[in-house]
Each structure stands twice: as C-alpha cells, then as structure tokens.
C-alpha cells in the first residue's frame, strides 16, 4: 500500500489501470465509517510513500470488518425476505 501526498491510500505502487490507481482510502473523506472504498482515481504526477506496517494492518482490519458486516447484512436481509 502507498500513501499519496494528498493523503489518498492505494493498494500498490506498481499497478495502475489506464493511468489510474486503485484507491482504498480517499483523502477527502470526513472520517466516518465509510471512509474506505475501492475506486480508480487518476494520481498522475503525485508523489507517494509506502504505508507503514501498522497502518496497513489497521486498513486491512477495517476492510475485513466491513466485508464481514456486509455478509451479515445480506444474511439478515435474506432471512427477512423469506419471512
């Protein structure tokens, strides 16, 4: 993971799609739980540095929690629709 000068965090420093990086945490979030996302953003010309191990672990843990919460929500939704 890398952190750009603006604060955006992307998954990798050596991969891009059509010149855009896969952003997992945007610099322009307001700090709520929805600060994590996945979308491509043009980061051309911006400098970056590697994210520390501690920060990577924090981000991976948060993303994992969001995925698990999504699965729980889907299970509850399916149960309610079957009722």
Going by the DSSP 8-state scheme, the letter that residue 17 receives in this structure is B
**For residue 36, what pLDDT is reported?**
84
**Pairing state of beta strands 2-4 and 9-10?**
antiparallel
Q: Where are the domains of the chain?
A: 2-82
pLDDT tens readout for residues 6-65: 999 998 877 677 778 999 998 887 666 567 888 899 998 899 999 999 999 999 998 899
* H-helix or E-strand spanning residue 78: helix 53-82
Q: For residue 74, what pLDDT band results from cuts at 50, 70 and 90?
A: confident
* Helix/strand/coil for 50: strand
**For residue 51, what pLDDT is reported?**
95
Q: The pTM is what?
A: 0.74
Q: Are 10 and 43 in contact (CB under 8 A)?
A: yes
**For residue 17, what pLDDT is reported?**
75
CA distance 43 to 61: 25
């Amino acid at each position: 993971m890398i952190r750009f000068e603006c604060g955006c965090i992307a998954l990798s420093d050596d991969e891009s799609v059509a010149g855009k990086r896969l952003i997992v945490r945007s610099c322009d979030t307001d700090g709520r739980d929805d600060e994590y996302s996945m979308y491509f953003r043009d980061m051309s010309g911006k400098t970056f540095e590697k994210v520390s191990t501690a920060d990577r672990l924090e981000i991976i843990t948060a993303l994992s929690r969001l995925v698990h919460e999504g699965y729980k929500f889907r299970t509850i939704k399916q149960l309610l629709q079957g009722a």
